[in-house]
Amino acid sequence: MKLATSVSIPQIKRRRRRWPRVIGIIGLIIVILIACAGGYVYWLLNKTVPVIKGELKISGLEKVVNVWRDESGVPHIEAQSEHDLYLAQGYVTAQDRMFQMDMSRRQASGQLSEVVGAKAIDRDKFFRTFGLRRAAEASLSAYSDSSKQVLEWYAQGVNNYISQAKEAGSLPIEFTILGYEPTEWVPIDSLTIGKFMAYDMANGWEGQAFRYQLIQQVSAEKAKSLFPTYPKDGATIIQAIKDNPIDLSALASIAIAPDPYNGSNNWVVSGAKSASGKPMLANDPHLGLDSPAIWYETHLSAPDLNVSGVIFAGVPGIILGHNEHIAWGVTNLNPDVQDLYIEKRNPDNPDQFEYMGKWEDAKVYNEEIKIKGELPLSYKVAVTRHGPNISEFAKDQQQDTALAMRWTALDPTTELEAIQMFAKARNWDEFKKSLEFFNAPPQNFVFASNDGTIAYRANGLIPIRKKGDGSVPVPGWTDEYEWTGFIPWDELPTTVNPPEGYIATANNKVINDSYPYHITDNWSQPYREARIQQVLNNKDVLTTEDLQELQFDRNNLQAEEFLDGLIKQVKGNANLRSIDVETLELLQNWNKVNDADQAAPLAYELWIQRLDDVLFKPEISDDMMKLFNNKATAKDEMIRKTLRGEKEPWIDEKGGLEQVALQALQLAVDQAVSLQGKQPSKWQWGKFHQVEFPHPLGSVKPLNLFFNPKPVPMGGSKVTVGAAGWNKDTGEVYHGAPWRTVIDLADPSKSYNVVAPGQSGNLMSSWYKDQIDDWSTGQYHTTSTVPSVYQAEGNQLQLIPE
């Protein structure tokens, strides 16, 4: 019998020599397959790129609408009626931002689990509890018929895009990755996104919850030290809190708290200080830095309407911007418009709560949360006379006491009504009249007109309370702490044409002590506003270039106030290491400007940040720290007091300021060494402090390589006018001004803008990340409302009635 091994040795050798050839063929096949797969993906991605040239038939249009996209991707929509204008705006916005729009409405409505799975259940419970969609539904009936029509027209345009994209298989690639298609757009979706923005800028409940927990954990003296101000009836309220304890650890661990740095800058300059002789306006609202940008820049043109600026994708109109006569901008007023009420539950009926000696039924909403790949989840939301019970959603626990939230934005409000009026206002009187309809969130509006007027107004619904000031939760079983109304509209803070020739706000205190109503005690740190005032005061004549430079300003006035004093506290301490001494020398020679290529800002910012660890741990957990919304101002005041030689319990208990500052310095130095090595002179702020503009799918590897733009070094900080909030562990710049604008009313047909990372949410678009370099270096593009200018770009799309 012949064995298989009986072949001759030469035969074996020849076969062995053929193996490299076989491997080469296999390798070639693999390369071809990869190329084919890559080609298919590339084809699939390109298929989703919006049509921006030629003609498209659109159902519902009455006449042809022209859409011109300029070199920055800004759509200029020219329509012959408002019906066609808003229908086209819905269609065009969906072309660029459909996935973002769908995620926005889902997050605000508590419907993310339906498309991303069980990992989003807690987030969905949170927003179902807060009831943003319920508030949007309640608001719809408060709108005029004309505004309801605008919402319907806009929704019709969005739905035109959805149906066409489904039919053509050209929905954004994110839908393919997640395996679902967007449902029909309805007017409530737009209003729900508006309610979410009100939530993102509310900044109230989380501080009250923090102080509720704090009172139960630390001494009254230490708790009082972290209050914005101590309540007039503080002893009574604190006793009520101690008598009715609630475990908020689960809430703190899961809560989606608004960022405490959700502020902004805005200012207006009169013609007397302007090189052109006409007023100028600058605005840069500070929000999250993501892909795509939260703002969508658009120019809308129709008979009797010509307005340009930005809007939240999914909402019709222009919320911030200018028309042919006026310009306007906002910063967050940060008022106390959310109150937490301590509710006593009936031990025999968990859906009843005590009020004025009787048990009242809560209104119960039985929500169904759909979960991708799983059975739906039944979830119950209880709403007392004061609002939704927010203290139990995290683990469905029912305690003897609950916290319910009253909030102005949960009542019917009509911001879209105001937005429609902004677009057509021609002067201050008309613009001010429109503000009657802008209820939530209350904002600092600045205004400029080509008739020479500059003005300011703190506007929105701000409650008046029988007792209390919104700093801590109050008893809900009595009527002593109810709201009795709102600050009268005619008595809201207002300034017109001040003698200084300018008005500036940066979330700072905007009233003096004689103002008769309570707005808030939780004002932002004063450094941005002080720097703006400094620059505007020091120049007699200002240009648009000056305003652009100021928006990007990185002078650190907090360092001006504290650095020398902190260095003095630790300099000469026997426990200083050689690298600590080298770092202090670096800081002493610093010009106190947070430039990206400097070493000193890294040392300073880490030092200030590490003070949190030394001062507040272990008493305050990382989860509770997320709810500590006045931490920055409280810490500033603690340092300020101790540098003056005053007592401060948090610092005194840790050994005094010298010991606290030394410990924080050494923690900061150790962190800097681990990040960038042992030579402080070679450290760079921008190597740590970088902006990435993450995409929702960018958290999943390797999708981050495709959806997240390359990180870019950034200067600035949380306290500079050129704001750049950052993660304390990673350095990621996650917060700042996604949109900056400057306009000179001498020529209202153009404005100077930057929207980062870009206009489009489509990965393959040339406008997906094209503005990052401009944004990170303080540059701008010019947006014109003159047809001959933007039409010269040649990107014309005609929307034709079907």
Phi, psi of 571 (to 5 degrees): -65, 130
Contact in structure between 287 and 262 (CB atoms under 8 Å) = yes
Contact by Cβ (8 Å): 723, 291 = no
Cα angle 271-275-279, degrees, rounded to a multiple of 5: 30
Cα separations (Å) of 665 from 210, 571, 649, 784? 27, 11, 20, 50
Closest CA to 397 of 254, 256, 258: 254
DSSP element (H, E) containing 86: helix 82-109
Average pLDDT of the segment spanning 330-346: 95
Residue 496 CA to residue 220 CA, distance in Å, equals 44
For 756-785, give the DSSP string.
Answer: SS-S---TTSTTSSTTHHHHHHT--EEEE-
What per-residue confidence (pLDDT) applies to 160? 98
Instruction: Report the pLDDT averaged over residues 285-313.
Output: 97
CA distance 226 to 224: 5
pLDDT at 398 over 70: no
Residue 11 — pLDDT band, cuts 50, 70, 90? very low
Scored b (16 or more CB within 10 A) or e, 334-351 reads bbbbbbbbbbbbeeeebb
Residue 25 has a pLDDT of 58
pLDDT band for position 261 (50/70/90)? confident
Q: Is the pLDDT of residue 399 over 80?
A: no
pLDDT above 80: residue 50: yes
Structure tokens at 57: 């038939």
User: What pLDDT shows up at residue 9?
Assistant: 36
The pLDDT value recorded for residue 22 is: 53
Q: Across all residues in the chain, what is the average pLDDT?
A: 93
3-state secondary structure (DSSP) of residue 528: helix
Q: Are 537 and 550 in contact (CB under 8 A)?
A: no
pLDDT digits (tens, 9 = 90+) for 380-392: 999 999 999 998 8
77-200: CATH superfamily: Penicillin Amidohydrolase, domain 1 (1.10.439.10)
Residue 14: pLDDT band (50, 70, 90) is: very low
Pairing of strands 795-801, 54-58: parallel
pLDDT of residue 15: 40
pLDDT per position as a tens digit, 150-186: 999 999 999 999 999 999 999 999 999 999 999 999 9
- Rounded to whole angstroms, the Cα distance separating 469 from 462 reads 12
What is the DSSP pairing of strand 690-691 with strand 732-736? parallel
| pLDDT score for 794 | 84
Bond into 702 cis (ω within 30): yes
Pairwise pLDDT comparison (131 vs 256), residue with the higher score: 131
Residue 237 pLDDT class (50, 70, 90 cuts): confident
Q: Is 622 annotated as a binding residue?
A: no
Identify any residues that bridge with 801 across adjacent strands, giving them in sequence order.
58
How confident is the model over 565-597, as pLDDT tens digits?
999 999 999 999 999 999 999 999 999 999 999
339 is in an annotated binding site: yes
Residue 792 clears pLDDT 90, i.e. is over it: yes
- Which string of DSSP letters, residue by residue, matches 157-192? HHHHHHHHHHHHT-S-HHHHHHT--PPPP-HHHHHH
Whether pLDDT at 1 is above 90: no
Rounded to 10 degrees, the C-alpha dihedral 142/148/152/154 comes to -100
**Residue-level pLDDT at 35:** 55
642/26: higher pLDDT: 642
Which pLDDT does position 4 carry in this prediction?
Answer: 38
Average pLDDT over residues 127-147: 97
Instruction: Compute the distance between CA of residue 517 and CA of residue 631 in angstroms, rounded to an integer.
Output: 24
Residue 16's pLDDT band, with cuts at 50, 70 and 90, is very low
CA torsion 763-74-192-98 (nearest 10°) is: -30
- Average pLDDT, integer, range 714-720: 97
Model pLDDT for residues 530-560, shown as the tens digit of each residue: 999 999 999 999 999 999 999 999 999 999 9
Q: Which residue has the tokens 């929905």?
A: 171
Classify 523 in phi/psi space as left (phi over 0), alpha (psi -120 to 50) or beta. beta
Question: Residue 474 above 90 pLDDT?
Answer: yes
Of residues 230 and 339, the one with the higher pLDDT is 339
Rounded Cα distance between 712 and 736, Å, is 14
Residue 203's pLDDT is 73
Fold assignment, 205-259+337-410: Penicillin G acylase, beta-roll domain (2.30.120)
Q: What is the pLDDT of residue 7?
A: 37
Q: Residue range 57-67: average pLDDT?
A: 98
Domain residue spans of the chain: 77-200, 205-259+337-410, 557-734
Asked if pLDDT for residue 2 goes beyond 80, the answer is: no
Pairing verdict, β 712-713 and 690-691 = antiparallel
What CATH number should be reported for the domain whose range is 557-734? 1.10.1400
Helix %, strand %, coil % of the chain (to 5): 40, 20, 35
Residues in contact with 407: Cβ distance below 8 Å, sequence separation at least 6, in sequence order: 202, 204, 205, 337, 338, 339, 387
SS3 labels along 633-685: HHHHHHHHHHHCCCCCHHHHCCCCHHHHHHHHHHHHHHHHHHHHCCCHHHCCH
472 compared with 675, residue with greater pLDDT: 675
Tell me what pLDDT residue 10 has: 38
Distance of alpha carbon 316 from the chain centroid: 19
First-last CA distance in the chain: 82
pLDDT above 90 for 647 = yes
DSSP string, 422-441: HHH--SHHHHHHHGGG--SS
Distances, alpha carbon 653 to alpha carbons 25, 223, 647, in Å: 74, 14, 10
Find the helix or strand (DSSP H, E) in which 155 lies: helix 145-168
How far apart CA 322 and CA 328 sit, in angstroms, is 6
Q: Sign of torsion, CA 598 599 600 605?
A: positive
Across residues 458-466, what is the average pLDDT?
A: 97
Q: Tell me if 801 sits within 8 A of 62, measured CB to CB.
A: yes
Dihedral over alpha carbons 29, 31, 37, 43 (to 10 degrees): -120
Residues 192, 132: Cα–Cα separation, whole Å:
6
Question: Which residues are annotated as catalytic?
Answer: 264
* Rg of the chain in Å (alpha carbons): 29
Q: Residue 463: in which H helix or E strand, if any?
A: strand 463-465
Q: Quote the pLDDT of residue 544.
A: 98
